[in-house]
Amino acid sequence: MNALITRDVTKRYANHTALDHVSITIPEKSIYGLLGPNGAGKTTLIRIINQIINMEEGQIEIFGEPLQEKHIGMIGYLPEERGLYKKMKVGEQLLYFAQLKGLSRKQALERIKIWLEKFEVKDWWGKKVEDLSKGMAQKVQFISTVLHQPKLIILDEPFSGFDPVNAQLITEKILELKEMRSTIIFSTHRMETVESLCDHIALIDKSKKILEGPKKQVKDQYKSNTFIVEHRGNQFTFPIDRYELINQKPLDDELYSTTLKAKNGINGNQVIRDLIDITEVHSFQEKVPTMSDIFISLVKGDEALKKHLQEQA
Amino acid sequence: MNKIWLIIQREFLNRVQKKSFLIATILVPLIFPAIIGGLIFIMIKESESAKADTVQVLDESKMFTFKSNKRFTFVPLDLSLDQAKKVYNETEDFALLYIPQIDINKPEGIAIYTKENPSIEKVGDLESSIENQIHDLKLKEYNIDEATLKSLRPKVNLKQFNLSDTGEEKSSSAGILYGLGFGLGILIYMFVLIYGIQIMQGVIDEKTSKVVEVIVSSVKPFQLMLGKIIGIASVGLVQFTIWIMLITVLSSGTLAYFGLKMPQKQVMEQVTKQMEKDPEMKEVVEQQNSKVVELLGNWSELPLLKITLVFVFYFLGGYLLYGALFAAVGSAVDSQQEAQQFQFPVTIPLLIGYMGLFMFILRDPHGSVSFWLSIIPFTSPVAMVGRIAFGVPDWQLALSIFSLIGGFLLTTWIAGRIYRVGILMTGTKVSYKVLAKWFMMKG
């Protein structure tokens, strides 16, 4: 079953369209990366899923049912702009949020205790938020997002504001939640997070979805048949009708690193065969695009990607 | 519904548990008795320790006699004016009063010399003392005795009645009605303003701390707004109830304490003695007694239950109407300073009601301006409670009540539409055009 399906979701404001027929499918128990540059419409989509704002057209299905008010308790939401009541105590605040999500007072108290222990912050109950550091407040906010054991967790830029140690802690908790059968939507433009955590992605740009699918499939789709070879000497020419030389740079000891793009229909084995005849190959690797490469190529066009690749190489 | 209840609870408990609430709730009622007590204390001290001022009198007309009393000690001089000035200057005395040769029909040239600027009150005392003496002199001149004079000025007290449609007579007292209208009107004005601004502050806090996005992912913006308005209203009601109770207890406490210091029995005995000597005094006292009785009578004749019910209705109705508007203002802005420009237009109609209370309602409760002020929902909360004691026809009251209900439903609806968009918009330069756009925005 799918955790969430949106069909042709459209949202217009007076002078621009924030979402233009966006359809995505989020499989259950996946970690789904919602990518896109700033202002692409990610937050609008997330707010619509959270029923904070309404869509003009389209349908949303959550675990097989049309999205309604009663589903609020199934969703946990960590907005990009974090915020807590500064003058309220941590415990009371968590209790309030959990009750708003529909937990009974007793249930909420039990869960809060468990989570405060998980984060090793049992003694925070009576502390006021204004007395906490930024990282501490972020932990409280994370707890408030997951307290009611939502089946769908939406995290908007979850790692901003965390130091590496705490970011690691949050990553562990996210993986734990996945083990506990939650579906997680990530909205981010940090590609390393997507690379390591997400198994599905969608890319939204200028109010439209331009790409969606399992991460591996997307990457395969964007393989450009490019290979990186390290070899000795450069006194030879590639069969120019079959390859395009992207760049070449010298390494130590007369070693060179060459990036080349094979024309259609030529696979890795054939490239190696060609190379063995003309030079001494030290290493060979197919260049698989990173999420970052794909992101840039789609958002800024191929020219930008080429430049980006050249800089990397 | 359950969620609104949670919000109301949070708003209420969070405010009531604050130290500032406790301090304000206890201190404010202490201020009134403290002022009353302080004033009485000073008055008593003053009258005990007051020293009579010495006034040197140079009377060249030889027509006046000044008897020293509690306030002034008069010292007659028999010098020329220049000499008298010199003598006066060497003393510490309060003033030098100079009366030249005058014609009592045209008393001009009377002067007072002082070292410091004298209070109007003291100058007035001296003036009226001279006027009285001239008055007496003239009576003598025209050969009129006191009795004739008194018969020329009969005392008339208008007993007031309201003739109702059924021809029933009801006595009334403009004074009581004025006081009641004044007090209730101001109470509503203060309540709406103080707690309305608290709503706005609360909304701005939620918006600037960004907590609002999490909240509206669990509840509808309208529920949040309503919960906040009702929560703060209950804080206000609790605070007002405590204030009124404390003020009543403490004020009567101070009055009782100082009352004991001036034993009433003694006062009454003196009055009785005086009355025996002076029939005129007796008349005055009796008249006054009957007035008090009449006032108390009038008070109990007022439809107090009706007034209370009407007061509570307009109290809440006015608060809800303005509370929603204040919430909308808070949602539109990013800071307290920015709120000023929108806060002002919201408070203007309230202010009009407040000023109308003094300029029209209390002076002419049944005039057409008063009528409209008490019908239009923006001014009616202050205006109608100011008017109600004077007697308002039922149809007017009904019209006013319905238009207020309609009014707050309308403002709450408008405010809700602005609020739901405003709370999620930060960093926007807000103008009335933008507000209108938010209002029109779908879903």
Domain-terminating residue out of B123, B152, B181 = B152
Verify that B199 and B327 share a domain, yes or no.
yes
CB of A313 within 8 A of CB of A259?
A: yes
Above 0.85 for ipTM, yes or no? no
Verify that B388 and B314 share a domain, yes or no.
yes
Q: B148 in a domain, yes or no?
A: yes
Q: Alpha-carbon distance A192 to A304, whole Å?
A: 19
CB of A229 within 8 A of CB of A257?
A: yes
pLDDT of residue B272: 67
Nearest Cβ partner for B213 among A13, A55, A79: A79
Residues of A in contact with B213 (CB under 8 A): 52, 77, 79, 81, 83
Count of structural domains within chain B: 2
Cβ distance A79 to B215 less than 8 Å, yes or no, reads: no
Q: The CATH number of the domain where B102 resides is what? A: 3.40.190.10
Alpha carbon distances (Å) from B29 to A154, A167, B210, B233? 50, 53, 37, 19
Q: B22 in a domain, yes or no?
A: no
Verify that B200 and B56 share a domain, yes or no.
no
pLDDT of residue A154: 94
Nearest Cβ partner for A81 among B6, B7, B210: B210
Nearest Cβ partner for A100 among B206, B219, B441: B219
Cβ distance A97 to B442 less than 8 Å, yes or no, reads: no
Q: B439 in a domain, yes or no?
A: yes
The count of other CB atoms within 10 Å of the CB of residue B335 is 10
Q: B115 in a domain, yes or no?
A: yes
Q: Go through B301-324 and write b for each residue having 16 or more CB atoms within 10 A of its CB, e for each that does not.
A: ebeeeebeebbebbbbbbbbbbbb
pLDDT of residue B412: 92
**Locate tokens 């992101």: which residue?**
A295
Domain that holds residue B402: 162-229+289-443
Q: Alpha-carbon distance A85 to A192, whole Å?
A: 32
Residue A184 bridge partners (DSSP): A31, A153
Distance of residue A145 Cα from the nearest chain B Cα, in angstroms = 9
Substitution target from B1, B13, B211 for chain A, most A beta carbons within 10 A: B211
Residues of A in contact with B443 (CB under 8 A): 53-56
Verify that B190 and B137 share a domain, yes or no.
no
Residues of B in contact with A84 (CB under 8 A): 209, 211
Verify that B109 and B222 share a domain, yes or no.
no
Verify that B117 and B215 share a domain, yes or no.
no
Whether the model pTM is above 0.90: no
Question: What radius of gyration do chain A's Cα atoms show?
Answer: 24
* SS3 of residue B206 by DSSP: helix
Return the number of CB contacts < 8 Å for A and B: 61
Cβ distance A87 to B211 less than 8 Å, yes or no, reads: no
Average pLDDT rounded to a whole number, residues A1-17: 88
CB of A226 within 8 A of CB of A289?
A: no
Write out the residues of chain A at the interface with chain B, using a CB-CB cutoff of 8 A.
13-14, 47, 50-56, 72, 75, 77, 79, 81-88, 96-97, 99-101, 141, 144
Question: Kind of pairing, strands A255-262 and A226-232?
Answer: antiparallel
Verify that B145 and B166 share a domain, yes or no.
no
Residues of A in contact with B209 (CB under 8 A): 83-86
The count of other CB atoms within 10 Å of the CB of residue B76 is 11
User: What secondary structure letter does DSSP report for B60?
Assistant: S
Verify that B199 and B84 share a domain, yes or no.
no
Q: Go through A248-286 and write b for each residue having 16 or more CB atoms within 10 A of its CB, e for each that does not.
A: eeeeeeeebbbbbebeeebeeeebeebbeeebeeeeeee
pLDDT tens for each residue of chain B, 443 residues long: 588 999 999 999 999 988 888 888 888 777 777 787 788 788 777 766 667 788 888 888 888 888 888 778 888 888 888 888 888 888 888 888 888 888 878 888 888 888 888 878 788 888 888 888 888 888 888 888 777 877 877 777 777 666 655 555 555 566 777 888 888 888 899 889 989 999 999 999 999 888 999 999 899 899 999 999 999 999 988 988 888 888 778 777 776 776 655 555 555 666 666 666 666 666 666 666 666 666 666 666 677 788 888 888 999 999 999 999 999 999 999 888 888 888 888 999 999 999 998 888 888 888 888 899 999 999 999 999 888 888 888 899 999 999 999 999 999 999 999 998 888 887 778 888 888 888 887 76
State pLDDT tens for residues A165-180.
888 888 888 888 888 8
Average pLDDT rounded to a whole number, residues A192-211: 87
Cβ distance B443 to A55 less than 8 Å, yes or no, reads: yes
Contacts of B64 (CB under 8 A, 6+ apart): B57, B99, B130, B133
Q: Alpha-carbon distance A208 to B69, whole Å?
A: 97
Q: B258 in a domain, yes or no?
A: no
pLDDT of residue B178: 81
State pLDDT tens for residues A92-150.
999 999 999 989 999 999 999 999 998 888 888 889 988 988 888 888 999 999 998 89
Find the closest chain B residue to A83 by CA distance: B211
Domains of chain A in start order, with CATH, are: 2-214 (3.40.50.300), 220-312 (3.30.70)
Q: B275 in a domain, yes or no?
A: no
Here the tokens at position A71 are: 């589903």
Q: Alpha-carbon distance A19 to A56, whole Å?
A: 10
Distance of residue A180 Cα from the nearest chain B Cα, in angstroms = 23
